[in-house]
Structure formats: structure tokens, C-alpha cells
Structure 1
Amino acid sequence: MSTVTPATTTVNPDSLPTVDLCHLSLSDLHSLSKCSNSSFGCYDVVIPKIDRSIFNESAGSRKQTYSRLRLALANSSTIHCRTPRRRTLASDVVDDPEQAENSQISSLLSELFQSNAEGLAPIEAENDVVLFQSNAEGPRNVFHGPSIGTLRHYDGVPPYHTRHEEPFSLVTPNIRTNLVFDRWRNLCFDRKVLAPGMVLFKNYLTLKGQVDIVNICQKGAMGPGGFYQPTNQNGDKLRLHMMCFGRNWDPVTKYEKRYRSDGSEPPPLPYEFISLAENTIRDAQWCQDKLPSMCPQICVANFYSIYGRIGLHQDCDEGSRSLIKGLPVISVSIGSSAEFFYGDCKDADELDTVLLESGDVLVFGGESRHIFHGVRKIVQDTAPDQLLQETGLIPGRLNLTLRQVA
């Protein structure tokens, strides 16, 4: 049998295994103090003190806070306890590799818990266990750790890493959404209910909001995935230019293809557009409480020249879940005014018409989600002069439709 020769060189504490004291019970610490006489001496005992206001064994709580860990010299005047029995002799450590390792661990603990030690720096181990000691004023060697239920479960208390608690936030939820949107929404606007689930907001967007929308679309139009003239099922080009944000959609392949025919991918959906949709729906729900909420996944931007128009159709290419729940569609008008016609059927005699002007926002969902609608005419010279001056927008109407696909 091979014998173990003890190391004669000085042991480097960084090379020793790291012990997380938060995971040691009272009995474990006491046993550890008696593992070797060479580390603490024959008469030194580690005495952990427990905060009884936190630790309540009878109530099943296993959370222990060691308010003070100190090395107490054993003498008859200060310590009144039974002298621990020595388990091994110093010579036994030479022949027992386990005792040699225990001696090294005990030596490291003795070095860590000297009463006159300065603040301890974090010690990182391979398994990411870190020991900390506070450098603040007050008692030293104070450790606050998770429940020892990380090793064993007691009374159904889950380990710390499995607890699902909401993180503490210093700011009000959705505050960023409101700050962005409040710069776009007018303080005074008109709300018209055109049908159940269909609400028109007149003069809803401020001039700044309209300018920002034009600039965002112009920035996207200058890169890959910008405006192009799509075709219909017959191969005829539509009388509008279109681009998408977030996802790709076209009149032929719908949502099937991620890329357009030219190989380009749509730019990401701007955060401002998501904020616009969510806040508009909240305003619509004030008068239509059955209108469901939605989070847009795509924005289809259409630009109609003064000769542009689109025939009667339904927005029904989204997923079945979105259509069944009646998740609303948001339609934003910028630039020249448009004659918008809509109805429950394709009968021209039963269709209604409303004028959509720059800054108007239309919401249709719920019972009106499958409504037929289209653009009959673009009214010339109706775009706000200040909008044209600040953006250089060419004559025509820019329309955004925001939808949740699935």
C-alpha cells in the first residue's frame, strides 16, 4: 500500500476547495472545528451564534443567520464548556490523506475568521460559489446567505433559485411607453364609434408624432426591405408602394415567406409603433370595453399617391387565434386625406364612408374585426403644410396598419 507523504511547502489558500458557510448547519460547523488539532489547537472551539429572531426551529424555519463567528480561546475564566476530545493525533495526519485535507481546510477557515482580520475580498471557486464579508462598520465576519434548504428541503420551502418573485422596480411599469406616446398624442381629440369594436380618433396625433412617423419610415425605406410596388394574384401591380416592419407580408404569399422576392428582410418593428398601438387600444377600450388588447408583431406601411387607391377587402391573413379573438387592427393616417369606405358586406349600397385626415387613427377589432374596407380616393392638397415643410413628404397618403399575427 502506498503511503502519503505530507507536503512540506506552504499551502496556497487559493488552491484549496472553497466552502460556502451559508450551507453549513450548526452541527456541521461544530464538527468542523474538531476535525484537527493542528489547525485550531487543542483548546480552541468555533462558536457560532444564532439570531433567534430569525431562526425558529420549532416553526420549521431553517434560515440561519450567523450574527457572529469568532474564535474563542479556551480558558476557565471565559469559556465554560467541555473540552472537545481529540479525534486524531498529529502523527495520524501523516498517514491519513483525508485528515491531511481536513487540516488544510481547517487552516483556511482559521485564517478567514481571525477576529482582527480586515474586510475579506470575494473568493471565487470553480462552481461560482462566493464568500463575502462585509467591510462596513460593525461586527465582522457577518454572513447573510440563502436558506440551507438549498441542500435539503424543509416544510415545502423551495430553494432560492426556484422562487419566482417579481423583481423590484424603481420606476412605474410602462413609464417608458407613456413618455414616448405622450409626445405623440394630442390633449384634445374626438372619439367616434363607427360600429361595435370600431373607433375613429380624429386629430389624435400631434404634429411631432406625425413628423416622427414619417422620419422613421423614411429611415427604413432607405435600407434593405424598403418601399416597393407589390403585385396581386393576377400579377398586376397595385396602385401603392408598400414596406413592412417586424415581419414580411405581401398580397400573394401572405405571411409564408420571411424574405421578399428581392431577398431583403423587413427592418425591426420600431418601439414607438408598438407604444402607439398599445396606447391607442387603451383609449379605445374606454368606450368599447369588450375590445381585446393586442401587441403588434407587424406594421405594414402603404403609401398612396394622389392617384392611389385600394379595393374592398378584409384583413384576414393573420392566424386563427388572432382572428377568432378579434384582436384589433390599428390604422394610422399621415399626409393627404382619404375617403375610406367600409361595411359588413360587399354591397356598395350598404357601405359607409368616412374621411380619414392626417393624424387620425382608426381601430377595428372585436365584432368589427372582419369588416370590409378600402380606400376609394385620395384628396389632393389636404396634407398639413407644416408637416410637408418639416418632412418634405411627397404628395400622397402614408398609412400604417399594425397587427398581431398569432
Structure 2
Amino acid sequence: MKRIANHPPRDLFSDAASSATETLGPGATILRGFVRGQESALLGEVAKIVALSPFRHLVTPGGFRMSVAMTNCGEVGWVSDRTGYRYDPMDPETRRPWPALPDAFLGLALTAAARAGFDHFVPDACLINRYEPGTKLSLHRDYDERDVAAPIVSVSIGVPATFQWGGLKRNDRTRRVRLESGDVVVWGGESRFVYHGIAALAEGDHPATGPLRINLTFRKAR
């Protein structure tokens, strides 16, 4: 299942080196327009993954249904149910392994992480979230991964979203940052456990996704 040894192509994103960068905090960077123009190719890979492991609305340990629909690809996938949050090598709905991480996804994650200063990042999981108008992702921290030295790489495709960037405590002041289609956010190091989320998605339209936003989140879970 691993594709690391194949040195996935990065040529799709070779022109992204000139994209503008914006610092969110220590170890946290926005790569503006990093994958702009490649959305259709990335969405084509998403469609292949969804055909094997469809989008679903997970249930939190507290019994709440998440408004954001999601699926996964890679060696493991992130899941949630009444027993807790975890990474699992099997899709609990299909009872099969998650679809493999596409080479284009891996090349994107490696290139974006390196551009943000994380040269040795190699993800083994990609969470794929689908936002519809009105859906949101509450403030949270990503702490289910074993390799906390690895960054998070988050890719926005489709309708713009308001990214909420907080601090290391839940009640720290939160910044609201607009993310456009093609923007990539990378955070690690001192910012690895910063609280973050997505405000309720506003009504909008994008040529590639219609009223939706698709988010790819790459992680090193093991």
C-alpha cells in the first residue's frame, strides 16, 4: 500500500514555489493559491476514493452527528463513534482497507510541507471533508496522531471558508482567516496543538464544486 519508495511526482506543483506565503504563528504557514489550477485533477482523485469509501456523517463519542461529511484514504483513516476517536486501517462501513493515497496527493503533501519548512513529512493518512452551506467544524486540536513531530497539511478546494485559528488553550483569542480554493495551510512545531476550526460555510458557488467545499487534510498518524 505504501508509495513512498516510488518518489511520487511533484511536477504538478512545481510552479507553486512562487505562491505567496502568510505566517499564522510559529511553525504555521498559509501557502496562498498553492494548488490553484489543479483543483479538477485533485477532485478527480477524490471521486475515485469516494466510489470505494463513500462520504458519511460520523458520530462523536457524545452521540452527536457531525455536520461535515467525510471519508479517508491512505494506510489508516480517522473514524469516530460512541467508543471514541481513533485511526483504523479498515473502513468500518465497507469492511475493507481504505483506498490508497494517490500519488498526486502524496506529491502535494510532500511539496507543501517542505515549502513550509517540514522537509521530512511523509503522510500515511488523508482525511477528506465535504462541507455544505451551513456546515462547520468546531474548534478542536488534532491529537490522535502518534507522530506529533509531523505537521498537518490542509488543502482547500471549492467555496471559500473562514478558518478559525486560536491558541493552545480553548479560550484563547481566535483569528478568522479567509481561505480560498487552492490555499494550503501547514502547521506543526510550536503550533501543532493550536485550536482551530471552520466557521459555518456561507452560501457560494465554485466552478469545480458548486456550493461545496472539499478539504484534504494530510497527517502522519503512526
Asked if 1:346 corresponds to 2:170, the answer is yes
Q: CA deviation at 1:233?
A: 1.0
**Structure having greater relative contact order (Cα 8 Å, sep ≥ 6):** 2
Q: Which amino acid aligns with 2:105?
A: F
Does the C-alpha gap of structure 1 residues 403 and 337 become closer, same or farther in structure 2, counting only changes over 3 Å? same
| Higher fraction of strand | 2
Does the C-alpha gap of structure 1 residues 282 and 187 become closer, same or farther in structure 2, counting only changes over 3 Å? closer
Q: Which amino acid aligns with 1:313?
A: H
Does the C-alpha gap of structure 1 residues 343 and 253 become closer, same or farther in structure 2, counting only changes over 3 Å? closer
Q: 2:59 — aligned with what? A: 231
TM-score, with structure 2 as normaliser: 0.88
Report runs of 4+ in structure 1 exceeding 6 Å deviation: none
CA distance in 2, matches of 1:329, 1:397: 19
Which of residues 295, 316, 335 in structure 1 aligns to 2:143?
A: 316
Cα displacement string for residues 274-321 of structure 1 (whole angstroms, at most 9, x for unaligned residues):
110111112112xxxxx46310100000001011101010011011xx
CA distance in 2, matches of 1:258, 1:395: 30
Asked if 1:380 corresponds to 2:203, the answer is yes
Asked if 1:405 corresponds to 2:203, the answer is no
Q: CA deviation at 1:240?
A: 1.1
2:199 match: secondary structure:
strand
Q: CA deviation at 1:382?
A: 5.0
Cα displacement string for residues 114-135 of structure 1 (whole angstroms, at most 9, x for unaligned residues):
xxxxxxxxxxxxxxxxxxxxxx
Q: CA deviation at 1:379?
A: 2.7
CA distance in 2, matches of 1:241, 1:339: 18
Q: Which runs of 5+ in 1 are unaligned?
A: 1-172, 286-290
Q: 2:3 — aligned with what? A: none
Asked if 1:259 corresponds to 2:125, the answer is no
Asked if 1:366 corresponds to 2:189, the answer is yes
* Superposed counterparts of 1:47-86, under 5 Å: none
Cα displacement string for residues 57-80 of structure 1 (whole angstroms, at most 9, x for unaligned residues):
xxxxxxxxxxxxxxxxxxxxxxxx
Which of residues 24, 31, 34 in structure 2 aligns to 1:204?
A: 34
Q: Percent identity?
A: 27
Asked if 1:195 corresponds to 2:25, the answer is yes
Q: CA deviation at 1:196?
A: 0.4
Which of residues 11, 16, 23 in structure 2 aligns to 1:179?
A: 11
Does the C-alpha gap of structure 1 residues 256 and 210 become closer, same or farther in structure 2, counting only changes over 3 Å? closer
TM-score, with structure 1 as normaliser: 0.49
Does the C-alpha gap of structure 1 residues 253 and 346 become closer, same or farther in structure 2, counting only changes over 3 Å? closer
CA distance in 2, matches of 1:178, 1:313: 31
CA distance in 2, matches of 1:256, 1:268: 14
CA distance in 2, matches of 1:374, 1:262: 28
Q: CA deviation at 1:378?
A: 1.4
Q: 1:141 — aligned with what? A: none
Q: CA deviation at 1:177?
A: 2.3
CA contact (8 A) 1:341 1:351 kept: yes
CA distance in 1, matches of 2:63, 2:10: 43
Does the C-alpha gap of structure 1 residues 203 and 181 become closer, same or farther in structure 2, counting only changes over 3 Å? closer
Q: Which amino acid aligns with 1:403?
A: R
CA distance in 1, matches of 2:139, 2:201: 15
The structure with more radius of gyration = 1
Cα displacement string for residues 139-159 of structure 1 (whole angstroms, at most 9, x for unaligned residues):
xxxxxxxxxxxxxxxxxxxxx
Q: CA deviation at 1:258?
A: 2.6
CA contact (8 A) 1:314 1:371 kept: yes
Does the C-alpha gap of structure 1 residues 189 and 181 become closer, same or farther in structure 2, counting only changes over 3 Å? closer
1:214 match: secondary structure:
helix
Does the C-alpha gap of structure 1 residues 347 and 253 become closer, same or farther in structure 2, counting only changes over 3 Å? closer
Q: CA deviation at 1:353?
A: 1.2
CA distance in 1, matches of 2:124, 2:88: 15
Query: What value does the CA root-mean-square deviation take over the aligned residues?
Result: 2.0
Q: Which amino acid aligns with 2:214?
A: L
CA distance in 2, matches of 1:222, 1:261: 13
* Superposed counterparts of 1:7-406, under 5 Å: 177-182=9-14, 185-186=15-16, 188-207=18-37, 209-223=38-52, 225-246=53-74, 247-251=76-80, 252-256=84-88, 258-285=90-117, 291=118, 293-319=120-146, 322-323=147-148, 325=149, 327-344=150-167, 345-347=169-171, 350-383=173-206, 385=207, 388=208, 393-406=209-222
Q: CA deviation at 1:355?
A: 0.5
Q: CA deviation at 1:262?
A: 4.5
CA contact (8 A) 1:292 1:366 kept: no
| Higher fraction of helix | 1
Q: Which runs of 5+ in 2 are unaligned?
A: 1-5
CA distance in 1, matches of 2:124, 2:49: 16
